[in-house]
Amino acid sequence: MVPKSEQRFIRLNLTTIIVTLLLILAGGIVRSTGSGMGCPDWPKCFDQYVPPTSVSQLPLNYKEKYVSERIVKNERFAKTLEKMGKVNLADSIRQDRSILIPEVFNVAKTWTEYLNRLMGAITGFLMLLLTGFSFTYRKRAKRIIVLCIFNLIVVGFQGWLGSIVVSTNLMTWIVTVHMLLALVILALLIYTYNFARQLDRAPTIVMANVGWLKWLIFFAIVVSIIQIVLGTEVREAVDVVSKLLGYSERSSWLTRIGNVLSYHRDMALVVLGLNVLVYRAVKERFNGKTDALIVGNSIGIVLAIQIATGLILSNFALPPYAQALHILFSTALFSLQYYLYLLVYKTTTYQQNIN
C-alpha cells in the first residue's frame, strides 16, 4: 500500500510534467508569433507586474530606456563569459547590433509573452512545492529529494537564462541552450516520477532479452535531441530570413534558409525509422497492458502528429499554430522516449531470473 503522502508526490510530479509541457507550448506560441520581445525587460513587463494595454501608458522614451538597460545587462553577461574563458562569445554579444534595435510596443505580443511568463511562474511554484513534498521520501529514497532540489536549481538557472534571452534580443545560441535546458528539466521530472512509482512495484519480467532494446531506445533519444537542435536552428534561420524580408513573402522563407532544412528533413526519416523499430520490439516483448506498451503506443501517436505538423509547416507557409504544435510534440516525443527507456531499463528476462 502506497502511503498517501507518496501518492500526493506522484500526482504532483505528473501535474508538473504536464504543466512544463504546456509551458513549452506557450514558448512555441511566443516564437511562432514573434512575441519574444513583447516584454523588453525581465522579470517585469515594461516595469509592471501587469503589462500595459496601450502605448499611452508608457513613457515617451520607453524605447531608448529598455535598449540602454539591455546594453548594461549584456555587458555584465559578457564579462561573466570572459571569466569562464568564453572570450569569443562575449565579443559576439558586444558586437551584435540587433541588441540596439528598439522594440515597438505591440499589445498582442506583449500579452502573449506575459502569459508565457505567468506559465513559467506557475511551473516554478509547482517545482518548489514538489521539492517540499519530496521530503516524504527522506527515510527510504533520499535520491528523490536530491534530484528535486537539483531540478529546482536548474529551473532557477533557466529563469535567469530567460532574462538573458530577452536582453540579448533572442540571440540564437542562447535560445538553443534555453530549449535544451527545458529537456533537462523534463528528464529530471520524468525520472523522479518513474522512480517514485517503481518503489513499491515488482520489476517487469518478459520472456525475451531486452538488453539491445535499451541501447536502441537510448540511441533514438539521442537522435531526437539532435533533431530538436536542428529544428531550433531551422527556426533561427527562418527568423533571420523573415526579418530581412520585412516579414513579407512568407511562402518563400523556407526556400531561403539553406541546407539546415534538408538536414532536418533527413533526420526526421531517421527518427521515424528508429521509432518504428522500437515500437515493433516493444510490441513483441511486452504483452498485455503494461506501461511500456502503453508508452510505445503513445509514441506512435505523437510521432504521427509530429510528422503531420511538419508537413503542414513545409506546405502551408509556416502557420504559427503548426509551429507551436511542432515544438510541443517534439518535446512530448522526447519525454515519452525517455520514460520508455526508464521502464525498459528496469525490465528483466525470465531466463535471467531463473538462473
All domains of the chain in start order, with CATH: 1-201 (no CATH), 202-355 (1.20.120)
Mean pLDDT for 131-151 is 94
| 69: confidence class by pLDDT, cuts 50, 70, 90 | confident
- 147: closest CA among 270, 344, 13? 13
Q: Please report the pLDDT score of residue 352 as a whole number.
A: 46
Mean pLDDT for 7-25 is 95
Q: Please report the pLDDT score of residue 191 as a whole number.
A: 97
Q: Please report the pLDDT score of residue 175 as a whole number.
A: 78
Inform me whether the pLDDT recorded for 54 exceeds 60: yes
**Out of 100-109, 112-121, 317-326, which region has the weakest mean confidence (pLDDT)?**
100-109
Mean pLDDT for 69-74 is 80
Inform me whether the pLDDT recorded for 7 exceeds 90: yes
Q: Please report the pLDDT score of residue 85 as a whole number.
A: 83
- What is the distance, to the nearest Å, from the Cα of residue 261 to the centroid of all Cα atoms in its chain? 20
- What is the distance, to the nearest Å, from the Cα of residue 319 to the centroid of all Cα atoms in its chain? 20
Model pTM score:
0.87
Instruction: State the cell numbers at 162.
Output: 530567460
The three-state secondary structure class of 315 is helix
Mean pLDDT for 318-345 is 92
* Residue pLDDT, tens place only, 257-271: 888 889 999 999 999
Q: Please report the pLDDT score of residue 351 as a whole number.
A: 58
323 neighbors 174 (Cβ within 8 angstroms)? no
Instruction: State the cell numbers at 35.
Output: 512575441
* Residue pLDDT, tens place only, 180-198: 999 999 999 999 999 999 8
- What is the distance, to the nearest Å, from the Cα of residue 331 to the centroid of all Cα atoms in its chain? 6
With b for 16 or more beta-carbon neighbours within 10 A and e for fewer, the 246-283 pattern comes to eeeeeeebbeebeebbeebeebbeebeebbeebbebbe
Instruction: State the cell numbers at 95.
Output: 558586437
Mean pLDDT for 82-89 is 81
| 317: confidence class by pLDDT, cuts 50, 70, 90 | confident
Instruction: State the cell numbers at 31.
Output: 516564437
Mean pLDDT for 186-213 is 86
| 169: confidence class by pLDDT, cuts 50, 70, 90 | low
Mean pLDDT, all residues of the chain = 86
Whose grid coordinates read 504521427?
304
Mean pLDDT for 97-115 is 83
- 292: closest CA among 223, 353, 352, 341? 341
- What's the CA gap between 295 and 304, in Å, rounded? 14
Can you name the residues that pair with 282 across neighbouring β-strands? none
Q: Please report the pLDDT score of residue 241 as a whole number.
A: 84
∠ Cα 333 328 188 (to 5°): 60
Mean pLDDT for 169-180 is 76
- Burial class of residue 303 in the structure, from the number of CB atoms within 10 Å of its CB (0-12 exposed, 13-18 middle, 19+ buried): buried
Q: Please report the pLDDT score of residue 170 as a whole number.
A: 62
Helices (H), the chain: 4-32, 62-83, 87-95, 107-133, 142-167, 172-198, 211-244, 260-285, 291-315, 320-345, 350-354
